[in-house]
Structure 1
Amino acid sequence: MDALDVARWQFGVTTVYHFLFVPLTIGLSILVAILQTLWHRTGDEKYLKLTKFYGKLFLINFAMGVVTGIVQEFQFGMNWSDYSRFVGDIFGAPLAIEALVAFFLESTFIGLWIFGWDRLPKRLHLATIWAAAIGTNLSAYFILAANSFMQNPVGYRINPDTGRAELTDFVAVLTNKVALITFPHTIAGAFLVAGSLLVAVALWHLIRRPDSTDTPAYRFAAKFGSWVTLISATAVMITGDIQGKIMTQVQPMKMAAAEGLYNTESPASFSVLTVGSLDGSRELFALKIPYLLSYLSTGDPNGTVSGINDLQAQYTAQYGAGNYSPIIPITYWSFRLMIGFGLAAAAIALLVLWSQRKGRTPTSRWLLRAGLVMPLLPLAANSFGWIFTEMGRQPWIVFGEMLTRDGVSRSVSMTEVLTSFTAFTLIYAALAVIECKLLIRYAKAGVPDLTPDPDTDDTDDAERPLAFAY
């Protein structure tokens, strides 16, 4: 093990950890805005209770996402300075816009939303949560545009004097076909997580406290969250299908590795289960569905899909000697776990809707257990999706232009990287415990009581201390 290995582990751990909070923040921002809109339009108190209830969970998660995201970006200069030097002219542009525009928008209006209850006009206050939600989703787009350049470099040229990639067409970077499909796929995955959280919390209160006066609010939240989960699961499948076809065009090795396809096939069969040799050069056993992989990859049931061995020979001739295939078991199983966990969450959402048919209140303890696990399933699906995306690109850090081993900082020793890796991991573990305890504590507390306190005096609003609305 050397500095490169530890730096890769550190970036992988911080990326997956950070992305545990990102999809929930993205999805909840819109869902909370929708709940407040329903209250604004109907005046129904249950929507206000749900807005403040899930809004609190959203804020806890948002704070954690900000902290971990800052550390994530610092690594580009700390452990991956050669990569930053090579691609900074391109990679830095969307990240700068994300910080100056999108993050500024969401952070500013979240502050106004937090402190604006009963201080801003209702319509203006509603606009602040929508502005924050739009900023959150814009932030995701610019970050995904930067990542998509690593998957499919466009809008650049290599300066022969400096050896650096230089930006020539920023619009091409923002409209990269990988970014255009990755964004809706990621957003759909975020709503899958947020919808599952709505269901889990509401289901816990419905089954554990069936006689609560807030049962109508929880019933709505459970149904609303279930429909969000099912619709977003459908969107994930549709966008994932399109993404698979684009991936086959720009990164054929990633698709071949995802399917354990060692030799070029036409038509190609979808691998339900493949066992390969230890050196990853051939398959030993496979259970397949005929024609399906050709359709998923090319849109044609008889389409040709390139295999790992043929692509390895092609890349060797094009880029020189080396191993250009990713770690096959990781890409193969992360792809399937991504799909499986997402479908499991959708199945639970169907059960929740069925349990509430004809006005019934769910009572099954087994359904409660499934509901409590439900938010973890799309979180795992999102994490395995990113593991597949990043590991499937290897050994490239910028596909076709820069190998991962060439992007690591030359002046950073293994001891320094290992020290920061250990420190971040321990800090993140502590933060994870705090995050979980806060979410569980406030989720169990239930929707807030909106009954005015009779002991409250009529002190002028300007003289009251500034405080959270929660």
Structure 2
Amino acid sequence: MDLSALDIARWQFAITTVYHFLFVPITIGLSAIVAGYQTAWVRTGNEQWLRLTKFFGKLFLINFAIGVVTGIVQEFQFGMNWSDYSRFVGDIFGAPLAVEGLLAFFLESTFLGLWIFGWDRLPKKAHLATIWLAHIGTVFSAYFILAANSFMQHPVGYEYNPETGRAELTDFFAVLTNKVQLVTFPHVLLSAYMTAAGFVVGVSVWQMIKGARRHEASERSLYKAGAKTAAWVLLIASAGVIWSGDAQAKVMTEVQPMKMAAAEALYDTEPSAPFSLFTIGSLDGSEEKFAVTVPNLLSFLATGTFDGTVQGINELSEQYTTEFGSDPSSVTYASDYTPIEAVTYWSFRLMMGLGFAGIIAAIATLVALRGDRNLADTKRPALWLLAAWVLPLGPLFANSFGWIFTEVGRQPWAVFGLMTVENAVSPTVSAFEVLTSLIVFTLLYGVLAVVEIKLMLSYIKKGADDFAEPVVRDDDNDPDRPLAFAY
């Protein structure tokens, strides 16, 4: 089967987006955890918090650098492969992305630079403020990017201009306070804290087990402190993720009922709809053959009541075809308004299942570290080494599958109700050109993955540096100091 430019462009955007999103939650969450450790050091003077700050600060910076490189490609793709989309909604979509670049990213990068180079030049509290401001920059960045994405899920604050054939921005505040945005942002932010906390617990557990022979008792105490604090962050953030996810599901059912139906593989409209743990459907996806279900749970997730009615795929397909598919020349026309059900169904369950796996591993870690207990003395080191991988990878891949579910479940829409993906692709870009860029990006990202993993593992194996109290230099009277500014 020959692939069209549209097929390849979709694959390219999917690969680059999912790859980039591996770094985003760790960057956001780890900046907060590192800031928390540094705050504990400034308040208590306890050297272990400074050592944890610098140790995980290095890992944060590696992740941040790779994330920036991979993120640059994202916005370029809108003009490269999706020019019709950019022309149609660029007036709206570009506004939050411009603010993100001019405000949030500059805030983030400026204060991160001050944090990196200011250890021996800024007072403790001023230096502490720089990492908190860098974290705030990552939060702002996430907010504006999610505002742009939320418009794609539920367009608001615009007016269609029939003369230009474009959607034009009329209310920027409405875009920033989109009902989808207001539930998506806390869910993504809390998921980032959960993911980064899982990373910290996993690294700390690995150090306690793998490095037990070469660590003194004080070293094991250091990583125990890191594991326990991050495990608590993971559990608290997880509670917020569950709460915000429930709110998000109800808004999603309101504005994108097809996504909820596809998430459940619910073909027929049902009151008191069950939630299936496992479903087998017909080959054409038209009906359910076998399912293991929990009664009434889907109705509660979708509507907040156990007897609420949830629309099915078949009814919604007919409704969308009547509403949007009457004119084949229209940008809202699609031959099929159903998402890829298998991907939507399983990504939804993998998102939840892997998230809960991380929660269980964090609880087990806290139980194992009660009192004077130490994982270095455990009789099952292989089990804990497995946990050291589950803790970071469970929440991380749960995030990725959540993102896949969000985007695949929106299909076939680029902007829900306004433009399909098929009508958003660049009309003059050939399949060969898109394939060439896909191969280049994939190879480049493969190289970056090797660099990232090698650097991360190298610094993780090395462990935390020995304690060294930062000393603020006062070299104004030093005649040999470097010339900083002159005119």
- CA offsets 1:378-424 (integer angstroms, 9 cap, x no match): 11111111110000000000000000000000111000000000000
Partner SS for 2:289: strand
In 2, distance between residues paired with 1:463 and 1:110? 28
Residue correspondence of structure 1 range 221-300 to structure 2 within 5 A: 221-300=226-305
- In the TM superposition, 1:262-411 aligns within 5 A as 262-320=267-325, 322-362=335-375, 363=378, 364-365=380-381, 366-411=383-428
Q: Give the TM-score taking structure 1 as reference length.
A: 0.96
**1:449 CA drift (Å):** 1.2
Task: For residue 465 of structure 1, report the CA deviation from its aligned partner.
Answer: 7.2
2:220–2:374 contact (8 Å) kept in structure 1: no
Q: What is the distance in 2 between the residues matched to 1:182 and 1:74?
A: 24
Q: Does the 8 A contact of 2:258 with 2:312 survive in 1?
A: yes
Match of 1:24 among 26, 30, 33: 26
Distance 1:384 1:113, change over 3 A: same
Residue-by-residue CA offset, 1:72-96 (whole Å, 9 max, x unaligned): 1100000001000000000000000
1:1-150 pair list within 5 angstroms:
1-150=3-152
Q: CA deviation at 1:463?
A: 4.6
2 CA distance for matches of 1:11 and 1:208? Answer: 39
RMSD, matched Cα: 1.6
Report % sequence identity.
62
2:158 matched to 1:156?
yes
CA distance in 2, matches of 1:98, 1:136: 10
Query: What amino acid sits opposite 2:241 in the alignment?
Result: V
CA gap 1:461/1:133 in 2 versus in 1, 3 angstroms: farther
Question: Per-residue deviation at 1:207?
Answer: 1.7
Counterpart code for 1:338: M
- Please report how far the alpha carbon of residue 220 of structure 1 lies from its aligned counterpart in structure 2 after TM superposition: 0.7
CA separation in 1, counterparts of 2:239 and 2:274?
23
Query: What secondary structure sits across from 1:214 in the alignment?
Result: helix
The CA deviation at 1:209 is 3.2
Q: Which runs of 5 or more structure 1 residues have no equivalent in the other structure?
A: none
Distance change >3 Å, CA 465–CA 301, structure 1 → 2 = farther
For residues 287-319 of structure 1, the C-alpha deviation after alignment (integer angstroms, 9 at most, x for no partner) is: 211111111100011101000000011111111
In the superposition, relative to structure 1, how do residues 50 and 318 fare at CA in structure 2: closer, same or farther (>3 Å)?
A: same
Paired amino acid for 1:249: E
What is the SS of the residue equivalent to 2:337?
A: coil
Which residue identity lines up with residue 415 of structure 1 in the other structure?
A: F
Could you list the per-position Cα deviations for residues 314-368 of structure 1 after superposition, in whole angstroms to 9, with x for gaps in the alignment? 1111112531110110100000000011100111111111111122001231112
| Residue in structure 2 matched with residue 200 of structure 1 by the alignment | 202
Q: Match for 2:278: what amino acid?
A: L
**Matching residue's letter, 1:360:** R
Deviation at 1:373, TM superposition (A): 3.2
Q: Which amino acid letter does the alignment assign opposite residue 181 of structure 1?
A: V
Paired letter, 2:224: R
Using the TM superposition, give the Cα deviation of residue 277 of structure 1 relative to its aligned residue in structure 2, in angstroms.
1.0
Deviations 1:109-141 (A, max 9, x none): 000000000101111111100110000111000
Q: 1:461 to 1:325 in 2, by over 3 A?
A: farther
**Paired residues, number:** 462
CA gap of 1:460–1:33, structure 2 versus 1, over 3 A, is farther
Describe how 1:174-213 pairs up with structure 2 within 5 A.
174-210=176-212, 211-212=215-216, 213=218
Note the C-alpha offset of 1:452: 7.6
How far the C-alpha of 1:460 sits from its partner, in A, is 7.7
Distance 1:463 1:412, change over 3 A: farther
The SS at the match of 2:359 is helix
Q: TM-score, normalised by structure 2?
A: 0.93
Relative to structure 1, the CA distance from residue 317 to residue 108 in structure 2 (aligned partners, 3 Å threshold; closer, same or farther) is same
Which runs of structure 1 show a deviation greater than 3 angstroms over 4 or more consecutive aligned residues?
458-466
Check 1:325–1:462 CA distance in 2 against 1; reply closer, same or farther (3 A cut).
farther
The 1-side partners of 2:47 and 2:128 are apart by: 15
Cα distance in structure 2, aligned partners of 1:256 and 1:462: 72
In terms of mean alpha carbon deviation, does 301-310 or 231-240 score higher? 231-240
Q: Which amino acid aligns with 1:303?
A: G
Q: Is the 8 A contact 2:52 2:464 kept in 1?
A: yes
Q: Is 1:218 matched up with 2:223?
A: yes
Q: Which residue of 1 aligns with 2:330?
A: none
